[in-house]
Amino acid sequence: MNLPQERYTEREEMVKMQIASRGVVDPRVLTAMLEIPRHLFVPENLSSSAYDDRPLPIGHEQTISQPYIVAVMTELLELKRNSRVLEIGTGSGYQAAILSLLAEEVITIERIPDVADSAERLLKKLDITNITVITGDGSLGYSPRAQYDSILVTAGAPSLSCALIKQLSDDARIVAPVGGREVQELVVIEKKDGVIREFKHGAVCFVPLIGRYGWGGIEGCYHIDSKKNN
Ligand code: SAH
């Protein structure tokens, strides 16, 4: 890995004021947020805002998530050193870079080829070698590399495909924003000894998941109000 140190004090400030102060406690998550140079993942003209407490546009009508939300979702995944993680919605590649410091292997999938290419180039430049960027529709998950110990969805889904739950190994978690087009509920779906449990973690706003099981597609088997796992 080749992670530049510049703007470290801004990251210290971000972690202290935006993340730790709001209750994120996992030291591995806080360290990863300190180490990954977020300013390299935003467009150059927004570099001065890279450590602001908000999402930022990254082109193609997409956004890099607010630092606090990245930290919360990462903590909820409860990653282990040897975890294999699937991220749906690569965007800038920032969330994938954070995950790469906590897990063994990250597979991240992005539907817009240009977005996937830029993220892949940047991750290569930073010499992060345990991330694979795939171009495609992540609403179906990514079966060639299943099973996953964690699945993180970083675009707002109307419902989730059964395929995602099938691609989850036992004792594993999905973290995903599920609900409306503008506002979703951050849900955690846990699979343990074959039993599925779910809990909700509050309201979030993500750009829409578009694809076969996304907006404009067909309904998946997991909804925010009713849970059917057939
Ligand atoms: N995790 C990103 C932010 C995600 S923004 C980061 O750290 O910057 C959401 C991304 O999901 C967008 O890039 C969008 O193009 C992508 N997306 C939307 N629907 C998708 C789908 N079905 N499969 C893969 N990517 C999708």
pLDDT tens digits, one per residue of 193-209: 989 999 999 999 999 99
Query: Does 50 sit in the ligand 1 pocket, CB within 6 Å?
Result: no
Residue 142 falls in which region: left (phi positive, over 0), alpha (psi -120 to 50) or beta: beta
Instruction: Outline where DSSP puts E strands in 141-183.
Output: 148-153, 168-179
Cα-to-centroid distance, 193 and ligand 1 (Å): 31
pLDDT tens digits, one per residue of 26-51: 999 999 999 999 999 999 999 999 99
Ligand 1: residue of 88, 106, 150 to mutate (most ligand atoms within 8 A of CB) is 88
pLDDT tens digits, one per residue of 124-164: 999 999 999 999 999 999 999 999 999 999 999 999 999 99
Which pTM does this prediction carry? 0.96
- Contact at 8 Å (CB) between 67 and 85? no
Query: Does 110 sit in the ligand 1 pocket, CB within 6 Å?
Result: yes
The DSSP bridge partners found for residue 6 are: none
Q: Measured between alpha carbons, how far is residue 220 from residues 3, 118, 122, 181 in Å? A: 39, 30, 33, 15
Q: Would you kindly state where each structural domain of the chain is located, as residue ranges?
A: 8-204
Q: What kind and span of H or E run contains 115?
A: helix 113-125
Architecture of domain 8-204: 3-Layer(aba) Sandwich (3.40)
Residue (of 43, 48, 27) closest to 91 by Cα position: 43
Query: Does 115 sit in the ligand 1 pocket, CB within 6 Å?
Result: yes
